[in-house]
């Protein structure tokens, strides 16, 4: 033993000798890569800097107004596009009109809509009005194209609320006063908005509801469609997800939605008792049984079972003829067996039948 010990002789000697130039270079390189991967964060940085300096000139004020608004909306769009496949708009860019190049004749002939943005002193107002205009007009167009007006309006309100809720309270207050107060007098809109809130609390507003509406939009775009049927199916879809959102832990629930346009299943994967007792077998067999009835399956489980869930899917992927199109880890507020809210960290896999194309008939 002594011989072995004598042969092992570690001599650690660290000598850090970086110049200020080298440290600065590494830091700048790191910052560059960070902002390259997160351009919306760079927009927010520009906005912050120009906000401090905007009193110097009107050009700086324009920079602040533009990048502050762009950064906030693009931050939100990035968050949503990570959670919804095939989303139409992922990014917005505000372009200041070249006023000197405008003429009445040319504008009437070729012009596009121009939105007016006030000076930075009124930035709260700019954010609320531009966000609502953008959400109503350009956001989730595919998903909203065929749904009823009150369904669309409630979704716009919820999406805009979600965009603005992380901002200053004055901004959210202005949005509530200007847009929500009146619309929430409409019972149908108010009812849907409340349901969206519960659905979002359990983490499935974007990755399931908006996703299914996007798939619906892809399905009906070129077909003769029965609008009343679509409106009814969307109502049923919201109610189905609302019931799911309010189920208690381990409560039995109907897990498949078999509409004319939306066909999907939600499966909870990974009860510890079942995993320990039966392993993958039970889940694999069940997925094989139900996959044929659905176009999409949403597999949800606790984050700690992520590896297990991936293993389950891999075991039967070829038999199911499904592909993984989206996965995420997220926080959710669910109900415990007594109905009390508890926060959990979930993992979700969205798997889709390979025979379903992006634009397709029923």
Partner 1 sequence: MKAKLNAVHDNDLEKLLAKLNLLEKLKQGELKCKFTQEVITFDNLHSIFPEEGTIKLVSDSPEAIKLLSEYINERNL
- 197-203 contact pairs (CB < 8 A, 24+): 197/158, 198/242, 198/245, 198/246, 199/238, 199/241, 199/242, 199/245, 200/158, 200/162, 201/245, 201/332, 201/333, 201/341, 202/244, 202/245, 202/332, 202/333, 202/334, 203/330, 203/331, 203/332, 203/346, 203/348
CB count in 10 Å sphere of residue 115: 11
Q: Tell me, residue by residue from 179 to 218, as one string, x for binding to partner 1 by CB under 8 A and - for no binding.
A: x--x------------------------------------
Judged by CB under 8 A, how many residues of this single chain contact partner 1? 47
Binding residue (CB under 8 A) for partner 1 from 23, 48, 97, 274: 97
Applying CB under 8 A, the span of 95-103, 273-281, 314-322, 330-338 interacting with partner 1 comes to 95-103
The reply on whether position 96 binds partner 1 by CB under 8 A is: yes
| Smallest separation, CB 262 to partner 1 (Å) | 22
The reply on whether position 153 binds partner 1 by CB under 8 A is: yes
| Smallest separation, CB 131 to partner 1 (Å) | 10
Binding residue (CB under 8 A) for partner 1 from 51, 54, 66, 352: 66
The reply on whether position 103 binds partner 1 by CB under 8 A is: yes
> Considering only CA atoms, which of 220, 243, 230 is closest in space to residue 359?
220
Applying CB under 8 A, the span of 47-55, 107-115, 328-336, 343-351 interacting with partner 1 comes to 107-115
| Smallest separation, CB 101 to partner 1 (Å) | 9
> Considering only CA atoms, which of 107, 53, 45 is closest in space to residue 71?
45
Q: Report how far residue 168's alpha carbon sits from residue 173's, in angstroms, rounded to the nearest whole number.
A: 9
DSSP class of residue 206 equals: I
CA 353 to chain centre: 22
Binding site for partner 1 (CB under 8 A): 58, 61-62, 65-66, 88-97, 99-100, 102-104, 107-109, 111-119, 129-130, 132-134, 136-138, 141, 149, 153, 156, 178-179, 182
């Amino acid at each position: 033993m002594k011989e072995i010990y004598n042969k092992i002789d570690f001599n650690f000697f660290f000598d850090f000798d970086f110049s200020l130039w080298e440290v600065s270079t590494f830091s700048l390189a790191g910052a560059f890569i960070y902002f390259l991967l997160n351009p919306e964060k760079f927009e927010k940085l520009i906005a912050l800097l120009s906000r401090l300096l905007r009193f110097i000139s009107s050009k700086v004020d324009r920079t602040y107004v533009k990048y502050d608004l762009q950064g906030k909306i693009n931050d939100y769009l990035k968050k949503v596009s990570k959670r919804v496949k095939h989303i139409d708009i992922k990014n917005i860019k505000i372009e200041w009109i070249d006023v000197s190049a405008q003429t009445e004749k040319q504008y009437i002939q070729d012009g596009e809509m121009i939105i007016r943005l006030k000076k930075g002193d009124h930035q709260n107002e700019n954010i609320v009005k531009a966000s609502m205009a953008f959400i109503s007009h350009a956001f989730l167009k595919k998903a909203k194209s065929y749904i009823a007006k009150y369904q669309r309006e409630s979704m716009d309100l919820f999406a805009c609320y979600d965009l603005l809720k992380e901002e200053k309270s004055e901004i959210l207050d202005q949005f509530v006063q200007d847009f929500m107060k009146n619309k929430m007098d409409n019972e149908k809109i108010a009812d849907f908005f409340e349901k969206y809130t519960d659905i979002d609390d359990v983490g499935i507003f974007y990755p399931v509801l908006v996703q299914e509406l996007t798939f619906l939009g892809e399905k009906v775009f070129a077909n003769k469609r029965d609008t009343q049927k679509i409106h009814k199916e969307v109502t049923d879809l919201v109610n189905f997800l609302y019931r799911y959102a309010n189920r208690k832990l381990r409560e039995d629930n109907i897990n498949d939605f078999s509409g004319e346009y939306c066909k999907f299943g939600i499966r909870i994967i990974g009860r510890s008792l079942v995993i320990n007792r039966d392993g993958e077998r039970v889940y694999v067999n069940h997925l094989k049984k139900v996959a044929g009835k659905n176009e999409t399956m949403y597999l949800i489980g606790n984050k700690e079972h992520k590896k297990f869930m991936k293993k389950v899917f891999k075991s039967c992927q070829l038999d199911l003829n499904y592909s993984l199109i989206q996965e995420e880890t997220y926080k959710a507020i669910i109900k415990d067996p007594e109905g009390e809210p508890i926060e959990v960290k979930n993992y979700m896999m969205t798997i889709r039948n390979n025979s379903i194309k992006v634009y397709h008939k029923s």
